[in-house]
Structure 1
Amino acid sequence: METTQSAGEISGNVLFYHSPEPLNREQHAKLALVHKDKPYGFAAAGTAVPLTVSEFAPAALTYPVIFAGEDRVPLAVMGLNQQENLFIEADGSIEPNVYIPAYIRRYPFVLANDDTADRLIVCIDRGSDLLSEAGQTPLFDAKGEPTEYTQNCIKFCDDFEVERRRTDSFVQLLKDLDLFELKKAVFQPQDETGAPAGELVTVAEYFGVSEEKLNKLPADKLKELQENGALAQIYAHLVSLLGWDRLITKTMLKQAAQAPAANLN
């Protein structure tokens, strides 16, 4: 994997990364990681965050795991309203005992396409407040070589890319078996006594695996999914959908807490 080089041309927009630059020993020689007790402020507006297939099970304990768009990209849903994350606050703190997706943990490093060559290059988000010449953990040593910290970050990005490709294969398998269907997450309003009041409200539409289609697969296909590990990931996704109720409850509690403050202004 290319780590340090002259600045190349990179393409694509990546969630959370505002000023990605190819990691370069000349330009970034003095940069260092800024140690923060609450480092996740950059993700506070991340409503839905990409997941790799190996993360489905741990993520399912906290978030609905859904598929979105034509490419059926797997996402951990972390909020119901745009630019809102119910688990990460603006100050960078994160709710205890929740799974943090690898997509967030790799920041401010990322792999990006190099338009001048058919390869991936290691980049950093130069606009991140986690990087500064006044930081505590240098990216490069006195000889201009990547420090152990930087090498570990690069390996994490490399491993993430391997998992991303595995995820692409997993999604393609589900497409080939025609297992996707459009689903809805709904909310039933209640009155002050807890009785249903009004019609169901749709809070999200997304793609998910159809249990009906899954159950109609031939026995040999189901056995194949079991043996290659895909079936366990499918069930993790299906179980995770129970998490919509948690998100709805958290959203309502947050709105209720904000209402008194709004009335005071």
Structure 2
Amino acid sequence: MASAPANNLPIFYNDLMPLSSVDHVDFRSRTVDAAPFLVSQHAIPLTIDEFVSAQRFVPIIFSSGADSVPLALMGLNEGVNVFVDDEGKLRGPAYVPAYVRRYPWMLAKLRPDSEELSLCFDPTSSAIGAFEEGTALFQDGKPSELTQGVLKFCEDFEQAAARTSQFVRELQEMDLLMDGEVSIQTPVNEQPFVYRGFRMINEEKLRDMRGDQLRKINQNGMLPLIYAHLFSLQLMREIFETQVSQGKGPIALPAAPQPAEA
């Protein structure tokens, strides 16, 4: 169903360029009302800071593989996002992950031998450029209020991402993650639709935890996040039904062969 991105650039990003007060002194940021890059993205990285808000709108799962990351599931099938139309405009109330709101910006290392992060942007984005309209990125050669706000948002995102990585590491150390499977039965199809390829919390192991372990994950704030994830999984059927209503449902499975009559 979902796996961590394998390419060199994070999803959505086609290129990265460091923001420069020399090269981009006349650049502006303008508001766009659609995100075409979201149309075919069914799973978006999510930080633990967003679990409580996101679980009201989207199932929260963990990617498969050794380095699991939390994902907001915006569709059950590859290439399907039920929350946006074909142009990338939101269809209605939805939770937009910080990962999406950050684009086209991000902090990145410019040199592999340095830990310093620089504010970069995707130059292929239609939101940033030498436009006549929009908000200036620099004023008197210095970062504008907008750019300072962008930098703060990206710094906060990196800190949230670090907390998220620690959260996942602790789940793995406690062996609380397992391969997930969701089976959805519909009245029009004899065989259920089965979704795999993701990870989820093992509720049985959670119930069997020792009292001291349970107290620890409650005191360090992990327990509410775990239950936000578990509660959110109930939304998978809603996502499935929305896909069907939008004509983006999975192909019906063939009926099981019937035994021949004697």
Q: TM-score range by the shorter chain?
A: 0.7 to 0.9
Is 1:67 the equivalent of 2:62?
Answer: yes
Q: For structure 2, which runs of at least 5 residues remain unmatched after alignment?
A: 1-6, 250-262
Return the offset for 1:91: 2.6
Matching residue within 72, 96, 101 for 1:100? 96
Equivalent residue, structure 1, for 2:170: 173
TM-score in terms of structure 1 length: 0.86
How many aligned residue pairs are there?
Answer: 240
Q: Which residue of 2 aligns with 1:130?
A: 127
Distance 1:95 1:226 in 2: 37
SS in 2 for 1:200: strand
Deviations 1:180-239 (A, max 9, x none): 111112221323xxxxx4122213431000000011110011011111110000000000
Residues 58 and 232 of structure 2 are in contact (CA less than 8 Å); yes or no, is this contact kept in structure 1? yes
Return the alpha-carbon distance in structure 1 between the equivalents of residues 40 and 136 of structure 2: 28
1:78 to 74, 78, 84: 74
The 5-angstrom pairing of residues 32-71 of structure 1 reads 32-36=28-32, 38-68=33-63, 69-71=65-67
Aligned AA for 1:162? Q
1:151 to 133, 148, 151: 148
Using the alignment, how far apart are the partners of 1:204 and 1:61 within structure 2?
22
The answer to whether 1:186 aligns with 2:183 is: yes
Q: Relative to structure 1, is the Cα distance of residues 18 and 65 closer, same or farther in structure 2, using a 3 angstrom cutoff?
A: same
Map Cα deviations across residues 143-194 of structure 1 (whole Å, 9 max, x no partner): 2111100100000000000000000110011011000111112221323xxx
Shift of 1:115: 2.6
Counterparts of 2:108 and 2:26 in 1: how far apart (Å)?
A: 22
How many percent of aligned residue pairs carry the same amino acid? 34
Structure 1 position 101, deviation (Å):
0.5
User: 2:60 is aligned with what amino acid?
Assistant: V
**Structure 1 residue matching 2:11: 3-state secondary structure:** coil
Checking the alignment, whether the CA contact within 8 Å between 2:9 and 2:15 is kept in structure 1 is no
Could you tell me which amino acid in structure 1 is paired with residue 118 of structure 2? I
Q: 8 Å contact 2:180–2:199 — kept in the other structure? A: yes
Q: Alignment partner of 2:213: what SS? A: helix
Q: Give, in angstroms, the shift of residue 256 of structure 1.
A: 7.2
**1:119 Cα deviation after fit:** 2.2
- RMSD between superposed Cα atoms in Å: 1.7
* Inter-partner Cα distance in structure 1 for 2:150 and 2:47: 17
TM-score of the two chains, using structure 2 as the length reference: 0.87
Is 1:220 aligned to residue 239 of structure 2? no
Report how far residue 29 of structure 1 moved: 1.3
Show structure 1 runs of 5+ residues with no match. 1-10, 192-196, 258-265
In structure 2, distance between residues paired with 1:216 and 1:112 = 41
| Counterpart code for 1:31 | F
Question: Given residue 85 of structure 2, which amino acid in structure 1 is its aligned partner?
Answer: E
